[in-house]
Amino acid sequence: MIRDNAIVTHEPDLLVSLREVYSRLPETYYREPWEMQHILFSLGYTNGLAEEAEIAAAIEVTRTDFDPEAELHEPVRLR
């Protein structure tokens, strides 16, 4: 019996990867979580598609790291 591999993975270094993408590609700063899911996978930062909710949480943390006033802006929404 062959076990199916999960397409969606848990990425423990998601926050670090997101910070690196934001520092190298500042144009990705305002991307939606579903767009960042594709960007992270396509650039090889993740081995699979990370959960959108995990990416949204990491985006909120990372945005407050880069912009302390980001807490005052509208939070990231999932579709």
List the chain residues with pLDDT less than 50.
none
CA dihedral 11, 14, 15, 19 (to 10 degrees): 160
pLDDT (0 to 100) of residue 65: 72
Q: What is the pLDDT of residue 47?
A: 83
Q: Does this model's pTM top 0.75?
A: no
Residue 67 confidence (pLDDT) = 65
What's the confidence (pLDDT) of residue 1? Answer: 55
pLDDT of residue 48: 83
pLDDT in the model for residue 64: 81
Using CA atoms, how far residue 29 sits from 11, 59, 62, 63, in Å, is 20, 9, 9, 8
